[in-house]
């Protein structure tokens, strides 16, 4: 994959197949939204280097683009992006562009895994302070994520059902990114979008397991709360020559130890293992994360 593909006035740059690690292995509770840490295997695909601008959108839709801006277009919604992609896929230029490519292909927004791979290979850019719409549904953690890079379906009820996942770049540090969510039917300032040409995954999806090994998590928490909270709480008065208080005030010491253990759990726990793509036998398996 060394040749760009162009159709509809858009240029798509090749991104090699890759395996990327998403999330963190840090065990503290404050990192729970970034776990489980898992591997995503993405096939080779093509992506736009820059977000869509007004000229490109008007050219795809067949409108006049003489005075159109070259700046990233912030008025696109996720619904507009789907309509734009559908218009491209119904064109003759699209059919000609993919006739030599194996399998079925589609035009859509990038998923989180695809975005990370393309950025790592320096095939896309997103300016600091900007947020980009993704093809994924929003989620509070990585459970249920697609491990082959396909879009995560929207399985949420309530207000979040009208949201789409997005990735934001820090206003000052371009190396720092974060996932967020944006309304799928409403534009927002500094929220942009781009399209990608990706292969359709016909096989059943391999997903990060939704089930938690609760008993293992409880055992781990009891161990470290005891080691880091309860034991030091009783040991400190003994070492300071107040052994009597260790027996008479054991209720206070126990409560203090539990509080200390709870606090340490928010900031630190042993690192969790990375969930490897080949280790997931079924999405119903239990993972202690």
What pLDDT, in 10s, does the model give residues 11-70? Answer: 999 999 999 999 999 999 999 999 999 999 999 999 999 999 999 999 998 877 666 788
- 215, 194: one domain: no
Judge if 276 and 235 occupy the same domain: yes
- Residue 8's alpha-carbon distances to 77, 92, 102, in angstroms, are 20, 9, 21
Residue that terminates a domain, selected from 150, 179, 199: 199
pTM for the whole structure: 0.90
Q: Roughly how many angstroms between the first and final C-alpha of the chain, as a whole number? A: 37
Instruction: Give the domain range for residue 138.
Output: 5-199
User: Are 123 and 46 a contacting pair, CB within 8 Å?
Assistant: no
Same domain, 141 and 246: no
Q: CB 64: neighbour CB atoms within 10 A? A: 8
Whole-angstrom distance, CA of residue 85 vs CA of residue 8: 10
Domain contains 204: no
At 288 the pLDDT is 57
Residue 79 neighbours by CB under 8 Å, 6+ apart: 184, 185
pLDDT band at 97 (very low <50, low <70, confident <90, very high): very high
Tell which of 151, 169, 199 closes a domain: 199
The full DSSP string for 121-164 is TT-----TT-EEE-SSPP-SSSTT-BTTSPPPP----SGGGGEE
Residue 194 sits in the same domain as residue 215: no
């Amino acid at each position: 994959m060394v040749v760009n593909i162009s159709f509809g006035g858009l240029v798509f740059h090749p991104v090699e197949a890759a395996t990327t690690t998403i999330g963190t292995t840090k065990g503290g509770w404050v990192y729970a939204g970034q776990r489980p840490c898992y591997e995503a295997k993405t096939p080779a695909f093509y992506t736009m280097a820059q977000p869509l601008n007004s000229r490109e959108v008007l050219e795809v839709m067949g409108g006049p683009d003489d005075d159109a801006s070259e700046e990233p277009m912030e008025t696109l919604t996720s619904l507009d992006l789907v309509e734009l992609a559908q218009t491209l896929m119904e064109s003759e230029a699209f059919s000609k562009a993919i006739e030599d490519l194996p399998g079925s292909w589609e035009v859509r927004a990038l998923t989180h895994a695809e975005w990370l791979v393309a950025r790592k290979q320096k095939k896309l850019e997103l300016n600091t302070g900007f947020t980009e719409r993704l093809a994924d549904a929003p989620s509070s953690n990585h459970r249920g994520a697609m491990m082959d890079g396909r879009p995560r379906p929207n399985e949420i009820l309530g207000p979040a059902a009208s949201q789409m996942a997005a990735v934001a770049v820090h206003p000052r540090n371009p190396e720092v990114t974060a996932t967020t969510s944006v309304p799928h039917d409403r534009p927002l300032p500094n929220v942009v979008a781009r399209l990608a040409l990706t292969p359709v995954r016909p096989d059943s999806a391999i997903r990060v397991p939704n089930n938690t090994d609760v008993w293992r998590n409880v055992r781990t928490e009891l161990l470290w709360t005891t080691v880091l909270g309860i034991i030091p709480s009783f040991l400190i008065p003994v070492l300071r020559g107040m052994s009597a208080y260790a027996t008479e005030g054991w209720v206070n010491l126990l409560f203090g130890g539990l509080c200390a253990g709870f606090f340490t759990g928010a900031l630190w726990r042993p690192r969790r293992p990375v969930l490897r793509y080949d280790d997931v036998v079924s999405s119903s398996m239990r993972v202690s994360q």
